[in-house]
Amino acid sequence: MKISVIGAGYVGLVTGCCFAEVGHEVICTDNDPAKLKVLESGRLPIYEPGLDRVIEKARQKKLLRFSGSAAETIKGGDAIFICVGTPPLPDGDADLSAIDNVARQIATEAQSPKLVVEKSTVPARTGQELKRALAVYSRKSGVKLSVASNPEFLREGTAVEDFLHPDRIVVGVEDESSEKQLREIYKPVLERKFNCPVHSPACPDGPEPKFLVTTINSAELIKHASNSFLAMKISYANMVADLAEKLGADIEEVMRAMGMDPRIGSSFLKAGLGFGGFCLPKDVQAFIHLAERSGVDFNMLREAERVNVHRIDRFVDKIREALWVVRGKQIGVLGLAFKANTDDTRFAPAIALIQRLLEQGAKVKAYDPEAMERAKELLPNIEYCKSPYEVAEDSEALVIATEWDEFKNLDWDRVQKAMLRPLILDGRNLLSPKDMKTRGFEYRCLGRA
């Protein structure tokens, strides 16, 4: 099938590449010429494990191409996936102007019937507005444009795997032919009929993905409600961590046991510096706005957000407590990305934490395996190091702000010797307190006595 993708951000790029991987003919556009130039040269503008192999294969098979022309992209596909950004407005509501803009372009340029699929995360009822906008702008051409919602559940860092091996595919549709078209598009994924670029020689056995057909409003709500629920789970774990610390319990033990209850589930119970990234924080805010606009008092979401913002204050207090005076102290930070296996620093707890430390007069050195270039745009005035050992050299405290595997496996004796004061503040509970103490570190973490 011929598929168009508008927007080559995390979601659009992974969507386009993976649709090509499973055999569709994909054309993808973006309004950022610099990004397109990188893509056209065969490189990737983001770090996403496995995506380089997928894009290379798709290009070799000539199933994926990039275009600077939205008109060409729109004309090139039977189904058009809208994957543009919906960033937060100053009041936290989602900015949907890019969706409106794309609707106008589609309606103006389309010369044959199209299925317009919203994949961007949007508040419920956006599909209805999109339908209205498409109808207005295509009034003169009279071309048939159907609308569907197909929310994306992929996570950065495991995006290719999540896209090709989803647990569910949700499609919100208004007619049978849209459902049929989407079923056809996802057929190779549903039937696992592709050579998986992630697993070799074969994918692990697992349940087949579920294909759920809903209304457009429900599909949109499913996405926001899912991300907000995950955020609430994390905030809950973080509050229990605070309590565990006061009571002399161990949050890791508590959450492991809780997660064994299938009604609770083990994921997203990891206490730490709170949830960051471009999805959870903005989606929680947008969901709060949606509830408010709809006259529903969803205060528990506000509370989850408040707990999350407070994580950084709490950790800064911990650092201050350990260092007595922060001003003038050399603090090393390991990790800048909002989580491991990505170079994304948007709304990263590490960035917020460093900003706070700088405000208090600390001198900061940092290292991240992938995110340093991006971090430089947000934090131009810190020292970037080539290795964790360089960060440790003469530091009075070493903060772990992102849970990269690389940090788990450091030569910690070497780190211990390099530091001025061997003090570790582990914001991700990545290391073993016992092991760190045996190696001669002062070790502080979250929710563990």
Chain contacts with ligand UGA (rule: CB under 6 A): 121, 152-156, 227, 230, 234, 268-270, 272, 275-277, 279-280, 338-339
- Distance between CA atoms of residues 106 and 121, nearest Å: 19
- Distance between CA atoms of residues 399 and 421, nearest Å: 12
- Distance between CA atoms of residues 363 and 151, nearest Å: 42
For 53-67, the DSSP string reads HHHHHHHHTT-EEEE
- Distance between CA atoms of residues 260 and 94, nearest Å: 36
Which is closer to ligand UGA, CB of 145 or CB of 425?
Answer: 425
Find how far residue 333's CA is from the centre of its chain: 22
Shortest CB 371 distance to ligand UGA, Å: 12
Shortest CB 96 distance to ligand UGA, Å: 16
Which is closer to ligand UGA, CB of 315 or CB of 338?
Answer: 338
Which is closer to ligand UGA, CB of 275 or CB of 441?
Answer: 275
Angle at 73 between CA 25 and CA 114, to 5 degrees: 80
The H-or-E segment that residue 92 falls in is none
Find how far residue 383's CA is from the centre of its chain: 26
Shortest CB 155 distance to ligand UGA, Å: 4
Phi, psi of 190 (to 5 degrees): -65, -40
Shortest CB 226 distance to ligand UGA, Å: 7
Shortest CB 310 distance to ligand UGA, Å: 14
Which is closer to ligand UGA, CB of 269 or CB of 372?
Answer: 269
279 is a catalytic site residue: yes
Which is closer to ligand UGA, CB of 66 or CB of 347?
Answer: 347
Shortest CB 152 distance to ligand UGA, Å: 5
- Selected catalytic residue, list 18, 28, 83, 279: 279
Which is closer to ligand UGA, CB of 109 or CB of 152?
Answer: 152
Q: Is 149 exposed, middle or buried (0-12, 13-18, 19+ CB in 10 A)?
A: buried
Query: Which structure tokens are listed for 224?
Result: 């926001």
Nearest alpha carbon to residue 150 among 134, 138, 137, 163: 163
Query: Which structure tokens are listed for 136?
Result: 């207005």
Sign of the dihedral through C-alpha 254, 277, 284, 130: negative
Shortest CB 224 distance to ligand UGA, Å: 9
Asked if 157 and 340 touch (Cβ cutoff 8 Å), the reply is: yes
Nearest alpha carbon to residue 29 among 10, 47, 51, 13: 13
- Distance between CA atoms of residues 285 and 339, nearest Å: 20
Which is closer to ligand UGA, CB of 21 or CB of 152?
Answer: 152
Shortest CB 84 distance to ligand UGA, Å: 13
Nearest alpha carbon to residue 363 among 387, 340, 385, 344: 385
For 335-360, the DSSP string reads --SSSTT----TT-HHHHHHHHHHHT
Give 76's contacts (C-beta < 8 A, 6+ positions apart).
2, 4, 27, 67
Which is closer to ligand UGA, CB of 152 or CB of 370?
Answer: 152
Which is closer to ligand UGA, CB of 276 or CB of 369?
Answer: 276
CA 305 → CA 12, 86, 313, 441, distances in Å?
27, 19, 13, 33
Shortest CB 305 distance to ligand UGA, Å: 13
Q: How many CA atoms lie within 13 A of 391 on its CB side?
A: 27
Residues carrying an active site annotation? 279
